[in-house]
Amino acid sequence: MSLEIKHHLNTLLVQALQQVAPNEPASLIVLERPKQAEHGDYACNVAMQLARSLKRKPRELAEALVAALPASDWLHSAEIAGPGFINLRLQAAARQNVVRSVLHQADRYGLSGQGQQQKVLVEFVSANPTGPLHVGHGRQAALGDTLCALLASQGYAVTREFYYNDAGAQIANLALSVQARARGLTPEAAEWPADGYRGDYISDIAQAYLAKQSVGNDKVATVIASGDTNDLEAIRCFAVASLRCEQDLDLQAFGVRFDNYYLESSLYSDGRVEAAVQALTAAGKTYESEGALWLRSTDYGDDKDRVMRKSEGGWTYFVPDVAYHITKWERGFQRAINIQGSDHHGTIARVRAGLMAVGRGIPAGYPDYVLHKMVTVMRSGEEVKISKRAGSYVTLRDLIDEVGRDATRFFLASRKADSEFVFDIDLAKSQSEDNPVYYVQYAHARICSVLQQAEDKGMALPVSLHTALTSDPSALDLSALQGPRESALLSRLGDYPEMLHDAAQDLAPHQLAFYLRELAGEFHAYYNAERVLVPEQDVRVARLGLLLAVRQVLRNGLALLGVSAPDKM
């Protein structure tokens, strides 16, 4: 139900509590939706909570509270059930009012200022620039972009950040792989790097590098003869730049943008890694053992101390991560959220331990993590394991090209992050109610069709009424919306603002996809059971108003998912 209704009922109960038990805090009043519709629209157990401290029987206290409830045009009845529950039932007018709220607020419906412009940094995708983006990166992109939109809708000042792991062993292997291809080697050759990358994209980069460096007619021969393939640093830079460009193009095709890009290499060149290690050492949180440098991470709840500098030299994976997250804190982001694959689970405790150990006021639990599990891609009942170009996995571009951006984004954001996800290509391309994105988009297109029919038949809402709604929502008479399917739709529309709040609070973008599927289902059931363009003007106007509100909320929700709302399908 709408936050407006919930707030109204809460105010009534607070006023009743002030009469019955004026010394008790209003925070004890909690409204919940009963699991069974016959128990009313809302239930409150405040009488049961207060009975012991007030030394009164719960039912007797509930009766007193109900008797003290102020009169309200929105409250139909308040009944006492069981040991002392107060069940509240709404008047139809309360449900109907949500249509006015939606039409009056339009694309602002569901937005909130609760975040008070608190700065939040959301880091997601953060792919190593060693190959094309795979479907796991796509899931991160869909989840991260939707979460950013949800947080922004609730009044947070969100910054989207991509962290490039452009240093370390994987980048060195990338350079060696491109060098080998440039010299004419194939992955089957004995001289191929042991940990080299084998996809066709390596050959593409090598050919582009040779073409860029060469002169004369025999380009490849000239470059090899001139020794340019020995310049491993130049190859590394070229390969990283090429793959960064490709990843950027893939993300643009996916409709995902970033506000900032942060390079791992800069942590070393700017001295931030060394500074972080020095800070940990100065704080007495490190020690030397067996030729390695260790972090006393057990002081902060880790199951064992962790190696920072290996005995053979070089920092372990989490050390630059600690330095990177110190920069997040120093940049004023008191809240940071990382969306990463579940394989990063092992680094959480050590990164948080390192951040607390530097002694700069960084709290326990910083940053927040949303870890997602793998995506399995299926076609014709069989798993699709590789892309010819990538050589070992399915790329994000493969999915976009196969099923389109809308279906890819909706599907990848539609499950809890910590659940395994099967991406069924056949389902994503089907035009059926089993395909959630088609089902939701079709609801929007269907409403557009009805509204166009109304206009063609001279039965549309008067222009004057549309104009009036922007300043006086009460101008729309909705009293004819009394049927059970209409009530279900009205209730679902009212759920939207609270759903947005909860999804942002819980870092759970999938809740938005779930909601849109449920709203579409309520609409399709209503459309199949009721006529909208009926002769009776009061009924027709009310139903058209309801459809306009449903269309608006579908459009608002799809926009947050980064999915289009087509007028025709």
H or E, element range at 409: helix 405-413
pLDDT at 161: 98
Mean pLDDT calculated for residue range 408-434: 96
Structure letter (DSSP) for residue 234:
H
498-516: per-residue pLDDT in tens?
999 999 999 999 999 999 9
pLDDT at residue 216 above 50?
Answer: no
Mean pLDDT calculated for residue range 166-195: 92
DSSP 452-493: HHHHHTT-SPPHHHHHHHHH-GGGS--TT--SHHHHHHHHHH
pLDDT at 212: 85
Instruction: Point out which residues pair with 379 in neighbouring strands.
Output: 382
Q: Is the torsion defined by CA of 384, 389, 391, 393 positive or negative?
A: negative
Strands 286-289 and 260-263: unpaired
Cβ atoms 267, 168 nearer than 8 A: no
351-394: per-residue pLDDT in tens?
999 999 998 899 999 999 999 999 999 999 999 988 877 778 99
Residue with tokens 């990063």: 344
What angle do the packed helices 58-68 and 3-20 form, to 10 degrees? Answer: 110
pLDDT at 1: 56
pLDDT at 392: 82
Mean pLDDT calculated for residue range 554-569: 97
Instruction: Mark 79-103 as b/e (b = at least 16 C-beta within 10 Å).
Output: ebeeebbbbbebebebbbbbbbbbb
pLDDT at 223: 47
Mean pLDDT calculated for residue range 138-162: 98
- Band the pLDDT of 475: cuts 50, 70, 90: confident
* Rg over CA atoms, the chain: 29
- Band the pLDDT of 217: cuts 50, 70, 90: very low
Amino acid at 196: G
Which tokens go with 193? 């790097």
Instruction: Mark 546-558 as b/e (b = at least 16 C-beta within 10 Å).
Output: bbbbbbbbbebbb
Amino acid at 65: L
- In the structure, how many helices (H) and strands (E) does the chain have? 21, 15
Distance CA 429, CA 407 (A): 8
Distance CA 264, CA 97 (A): 52
25-58: per-residue pLDDT in tens?
999 899 998 888 788 889 999 999 999 999 999 9
pLDDT at residue 240 above 90?
Answer: yes
pLDDT at residue 230 above 80?
Answer: no
pLDDT at residue 565 above 80?
Answer: yes
Mean pLDDT calculated for residue range 96-120: 95
Instruction: Single out the residue of 74, 29, 31 nearest to residue 47, CA to CA.
Output: 29
Distance CA 79, CA 62 (A): 9
Long-range pairs for 525-532: beta carbons < 8 A, 24 or more residues apart: 525/485, 525/488, 526/485, 526/486, 526/488, 526/489, 527/446, 527/450, 529/485, 530/483, 530/485, 530/486, 532/450, 532/454
Tell me the three state secondary structure of residue 336.
strand
Cβ atoms 427, 434 nearer than 8 A: yes
Q: What angle do CA 210, 401, 137 make, to 5 degrees?
A: 75
Residue 205 vs residues 16, 24, 415: alpha-carbon distances, Å: 73, 71, 35
pLDDT at residue 421 above 60?
Answer: yes
Amino acid at 392: S
pLDDT at 228: 60
Distance CA 288, CA 307 (A): 9
Please tell me the least confidently modeled range out of 169-173, 274-278, 496-500, 532-536. Answer: 169-173
Identify the structural domains of the chain with CATH numbers, from first to last. Answer: 3-90 (3.30.1360.70), 119-166+255-281+317-372 (3.40.50.620), 169-252 (no CATH), 375-429 (no CATH), 433-561 (1.10.730.10)
Burial of 466 from C-beta contacts in 10 A (0-12 / 13-18 / 19+)? middle
pLDDT at 231: 85
Amino acid at 305: D
- Band the pLDDT of 225: cuts 50, 70, 90: very low
pLDDT at 181: 94
Which tokens go with 465? 């009424």
* Mean of all residue pLDDT scores within the chain: 93
